Structures are given as C-alpha cells and as structure tokens.
Structure 1
Amino acid sequence: MRIWQWLVGLLISALALYGAIRGLDLPTLWAALRAGNYGWVLPALLALTLSVAARTARWRLLLNRPSGVPFYRLWNILNVGYLVTHLLPFRMGELARVLLLARYPQTPPGLVAMSIVVEHVLDLVAVAILAGLALALRPEAVGIRVLSWAGLGLMGGALLVLWIGAFRPSWAWKLAEGLTQPFPGRFRERLRQEARAALSGLEVLRTPRALAGALGWSLAAWVAAGSQLYAIMGVFLAHPDWLPALWTMTALTFGMLVPSTPGYIGVVQGITVWVMGHLGIPQATAFSISVVSHALIYVYLSVLGALGLWMETGSLQLRFLQRKDEPH
C-alpha cells in the first residue's frame, strides 16, 4: 500500500478527531466517564451480537446458501473481516472475506465480492429507511435533513447500477467483455469467469422473496446496531433517545465510506459529536458516548475476529492475505 494512502487516511481521521475535541473541557469529560452507568454495556453487547448474527444470515442468503459452508464459518469469516478492518486501512477486511471464502469452490471470488457490494447497497437502503423515519418524527434538524437527502441520492445511484446488472445482465456482460478484452488470453478468461460469478451474485435482486429476506435482515441488523448505540447513550444519559441514535448511526454509515485510519478512529468521534451536538447533547457527553461505543465495538468484534481467524486458518497471523489457504 502506498504511503500517500496511509497519509490521506491519517489526515482525514486527524481532522475529524480535532473537530470532536476542539473546545472539549477535560474535567467535564472525566466527570462524565466516571459517572456513567456501565450496566448498560450488557444490553449493548447483546444488541451488537444480534447485529452480527443478522449480517451473517443476510450474507448467507446473498451467497445463495452455499452447500458445505455452514453458518458458523460465515460468522467466523465476517468477524475476521472486522478484525482486519480494525488493523488495516481502506476496508481491507472485505478483501480478507473474499480470500477466506474463496477457498471453497462453491463461493468463487467474483460471487463473494459481488455479495459484499450488494450488502453495502442494502445497508444504504436500510439506513435510509430508518433515517427517513427519524426525519419524519423530528423534521426540524436541518443538517440531518441534508444528510438524509444526500444518502437517498447515493442509495438511488447504487440501486440503479445493481438493477442494470440484475435485470439487464447482457448489458453488464458486454461491458465486462469490453473491459477484459485488452488482457492476455488465459488472464482474460479468468477475469471473465469471475465476472460471470459476480453477475450470478445479483440473482437475489431478481427474486422478490430473497430480496425481501435480505432487506429484512439488513433492517434487523441496523435496528440492533441502533439499539447498541441507544444502550451506550443510557450509560451517560438518564433518558436516552432513539432519534439521536438513529441519526448518528445514519451519519456514521455514510461517513465510513471515506478513507481513514484503521478502525475509523477519529471519524467515529467527529461524526458522533457533530450529530449529537445538533440535537442538543453536550460535547463531553457525546464524546464519551462515541468513545465507549467505539471501544466496545472495536474490542468485542476484534476478539470474535481473532477466534474466527484461529478456527479458519489455525493461526492468528494474517498470512492468508498473501497466499491461498485450504479450509480447516
């Protein structure tokens, strides 16, 4: 990875973190952290677990329920992806998921990669639905309204691209043929083979029942994620509110599309403080919520990822990113 990519991510994270801590009163922050009711962490952990389980179920559906790849393996690989994302920048965890699952002949790299793309589109749809609900309940937040409309525009563009691939596969295939034509023969055929697998990953969009199931799991995952943030708000607020949780979750979803440091350190804090500040939550409280919520997600998913990595590769090293391993 080029050094400039690291520097861009570091700069973005540093600017976001600066925005979060600018003017922050440290004694007030320390007092908020000390006074927290940390019993709320247990329901937050439960909600986080349910969110990952829903995402695993959705991934299995998008992969057409591959034979020989049970739920627990997809759970392991998904969490390994989170672990790698926490350690390396630029969403390298998604590459990790492709490489680990591509060890199985029934899940070729093109299919796995396309399933991840469809995941992101479904995430945008689910978050846009929840953001629209929150906006309808409290329409006076101007900054959040702009964010919601921007999210709807991004969602619409992504859906259009996937619709073309799903319902006009001949168009997509002609494009793939044109893009791969300049490459040498054997490599060109390999690329086209992966393109066919990728297009097969869009079959779920042509099946109303499967599409409804995938969207349902997406909504379940994001409701659980919002519940996790709501529970962490309960650590610091006597009366937590669902609407700030939904809006913050929406902003984080779109904010994490930009490059940053591993684990989105700084970006999470900056976005959380900005959104909650618009909703009247004090800076020290919002920063405390962001730190505890982010730390919980970071540590818990990293532990699950380490366990999954051990179960899948027999090692805690990331050598599989450089070579093709056989399934354990």
Structure 2
Amino acid sequence: MKRKNIISLILGLLLGIVLLLLWLRFVDITELTSRMKEVRLTPVILSLVCYMLAYFIRSFRWYLLIPKEVNVGVLRTWLISLSGNFINYLIPIRAGELAKAWLLKRQRGLPVMQGLSGIFVDKSFDTIGILVVLLLLPFLKVRFSGGMLGLLGILVIVFAVSFLVLILAIRNSGKVSRILQALFSWLPKRVKTKTDGYIEAFVQGMATFRHQPGKLLAAMGLTALGLVFDGLYFWLIFIAFGITYPFAMVLFGYTLINLSYALPQPPAQLGSNEWMMIIIFSAGFGLTKPDASAVMAFAHIFTAAVIVLTGIISLSINGGQLLSKIFKGETLDE
C-alpha cells in the first residue's frame, strides 16, 4: 500500500478511536450491556435477510450496467460486490471500487477503465437517497441540529451536482467531460492524466442512458427498493430492542447515516456511526441516548460481522490474493 494511504488509514483509525472514546463517555456501559442481553432473535434474523436483500438489489443494479457481452452473471456480480464492500469497509479510500473493476478484468477480461465506468455510474445512483430524505422532510417532526443541517447541506449539493452531470452527460457528454477535466487542471500531470480517464469513463457511462431510458428507470427503481430494505433492516433492529418507532423516521435517519459514508470515514466507520446516531436520532428525533446508543452499538457489531464474514467468503471465491495485492501497494488499474 502506498505510504500516503497508510498514513491516511492510521490517521483515520486514530480519529475513530478518539470518536469512540468520546462516545463512551456519554454511555452507561452497564446499561448498554444489559440492553444487549434483551435483544430478540427473530427480528434480528429478519433484519439480516433485509440487509442482504438490499445489497443484492444494488448488485443487480450494477449488473444491469455491465455490458451484456461480458456475461458475468447475477450471482458472480453479487459476489464481486460483496468483496468490494468488504474492502471499502476495511480501507475507506474507495479501494473497493477499483477492486471490483480489477475482478471483472481478471475473471471476464473487461478493461479496468470500462469496468470503472459502470461502477461510477452505479454508485452515483445512491445519491437518490438524498431525494428520498428531502421528500420525507415535510412529513416528519425533526429538530434540526447544527450537525444535521450541515450534513443535509452537503448532501443537497452532492445530489444537485450528480443530477446536473447526468442530464448534461445525456445531452452532450463530450462537453461535460471537458468542463469536469478543466476543474482538475491544477493537478500534477501524472495525477491529472489518471483523473481525466476516470472522468471520461464516468461521463461516458452516464451517456449510455441517452439510448436506454428503460435502463435508467430500472436503476432508479432498484435504488428506491434498496433504500426500503435498508430502512426495514434498521427498523427491525429497533423492534429487536422492543422500541416502537415510525418506519418513515427510521428510513429517513438510516438513509442519512448511509449517505454520510460519502464523506471521509475512519476504518469500519469506527466511532462515526455512533455519533451520527446521536446527531440524527437523539438530537434530531428526540430518541433517548441510551436507546440510540444501544441500537447503533448492536447494529454496528452485527453489520461488521456480516460484512467481514461475507467478505471473506466472497474473496475466497473471487481470489483471496486481491487483499494482499492492495496491502502490498500493487497496482489494480492495469
């Protein structure tokens, strides 16, 4: 792994530890442990099903964006997605996206840049969650803390930019590529060359919807369905603790937490998830801190176990040497 990435990981890990220690100062560990023992198994099992379905739906969305001649298959696409998700969880520098493109090249011969084109477009659909959050706002009683307002402001800008790029790419992909590349003209030549390639791949991927509006609608529909299953997963965790909470509020809050992952995160979202839960559900929705802390602590441990287990299984099928290549700093973009 490159030195700057190692430094970034170490700093992120230290930040996560600090955030976690600060969070623990606000939590009664004895009460938290006691609440964990009261968790009901049936809702947890159902939440696991919803969690896996949400990821399968997103991987199917990506599958629709992969050229048909690649013939990768739905199951294989899902396994590659799980591997990428695991790598992103461990190494929050979006290395998982490049890893997915590398696996497509290794297994099906698809050039890495062409694979990244579909991956970039696929990830851009996750910004639809911002639209869902905005549509839910009029129906929810939310106290907007400074942190939540700041997060909403950033997400609205991200959504507006993504939507604008999509529309312009469909109309004139060449012009959009030139404009975006000009914005990064200040980068060193070597970095700019690679960045220009990524921009070109992303914009060309967006431009494919010009002649395939049905695929665009399908991707949007799958995104919405994935968000619903995300919300059901987290809502069932509330149920497991015996906490009755409106589904719409859980969907709103959990979507915001997921969207916050677009911002820099410590490895495994260490500490950041716990604080996002406090900011959104306690400061914003009035959920008691003990309830919010218990739900997030359990959900964090639970999802970490699922991500690690499915990641190890999928990597063993896809090729376990991928992780070692990343840590050794070997290139994946060739």
Offset, 1:58:
0.3
Paired residue for 1:254? 259
CA shift in 2, pair 1:233/1:108, >3 Å: same
Paired residue for 1:128? 130
CA shift in 2, pair 1:202/1:104, >3 Å: farther
**Pair 1:229-2:234 in alignment:** yes
Paired residue for 1:216? 221
Distance in 1 separating the partners of 2:84 and 2:160: 27
Offset, 1:264:
1.1
**Pair 1:101-2:104 in alignment:** yes
Task: Give the share of equivalent positions with the same residue, in percent.
Answer: 21
**Pair 1:80-2:86 in alignment:** no
SS at match of 2:27: coil
Q: How many residues align?
A: 320
CA shift in 2, pair 1:166/1:108, >3 Å: farther
Alignment TM-score, normalising by the size of structure 2: 0.83
Amino acid at match of 1:59: W
Paired residue for 1:203? 207
Distance in 2 separating the partners of 1:49 and 1:17: 27
Amino acid at match of 1:134: L
Amino acid at match of 2:8: Q
Paired residue for 1:240? 245
Distance in 2 separating the partners of 1:81 and 1:122: 17
CA shift in 2, pair 1:204/1:241, >3 Å: farther
Distance in 1 separating the partners of 2:253 and 2:237: 12
SS at match of 1:260: coil
| The one of 150, 172, 175 aligned to 1:168 | 172
Amino acid at match of 2:43: W
Paired residue for 1:26? 29
SS at match of 1:100: helix
The farther-off stretch of 223-232 and 146-155 is 146-155
The farther-off stretch of 288-297 and 63-72 is 63-72
**Pair 1:13-2:24 in alignment:** no
Distance in 1 separating the partners of 2:325 and 2:278: 37
Matches within 5 A, 1:128-147: 128-143=130-145, 144=148, 147=151
Confirm or deny: 8 A CA contact 1:61 1:210 kept in the other structure.
yes
Offset, 1:66:
4.5
Confirm or deny: 8 A CA contact 2:131 2:159 kept in the other structure.
no
SS at match of 2:106: coil
Matches within 5 A, 1:172-183: 172=176, 174=178
Confirm or deny: 8 A CA contact 2:39 2:241 kept in the other structure.
yes
Give a deviation string over 1:254-309, Cα, whole Å, max 9, x none: 32122232211111111012211121222122111112212222211222222221
Distance in 2 separating the partners of 1:308 and 1:259: 25
Offset, 1:228:
0.6
**Pair 1:293-2:299 in alignment:** yes
Offset, 1:6:
2.4
Unaligned runs of 5+ in 2: none
Amino acid at match of 2:313: L
CA shift in 2, pair 1:238/1:269, >3 Å: closer
CA shift in 2, pair 1:252/1:19, >3 Å: farther
Paired residue for 2:49? 46
Offset, 1:158:
2.1
Distance in 2 separating the partners of 1:250 and 1:31: 28
Alignment TM-score, normalising by the size of structure 1: 0.84
Distance in 2 separating the partners of 1:90 and 1:116: 15
Confirm or deny: 8 A CA contact 2:235 2:250 kept in the other structure.
yes
Amino acid at match of 1:300: V
Offset, 1:155:
0.3
Unaligned runs of 5+ in 1: none
The farther-off stretch of 91-100 and 133-142 is 133-142
The farther-off stretch of 138-147 and 270-279 is 138-147
Distance in 1 separating the partners of 2:31 and 2:198: 55
CA shift in 2, pair 1:139/1:64, >3 Å: farther
Confirm or deny: 8 A CA contact 1:111 1:194 kept in the other structure.
no
Confirm or deny: 8 A CA contact 2:151 2:260 kept in the other structure.
no
| The one of 271, 279, 282 aligned to 1:277 | 282
Amino acid at match of 2:134: G
The farther-off stretch of 114-123 and 76-85 is 114-123
Offset, 1:223:
1.0
RMSD: 3.2
Confirm or deny: 8 A CA contact 2:173 2:207 kept in the other structure.
no
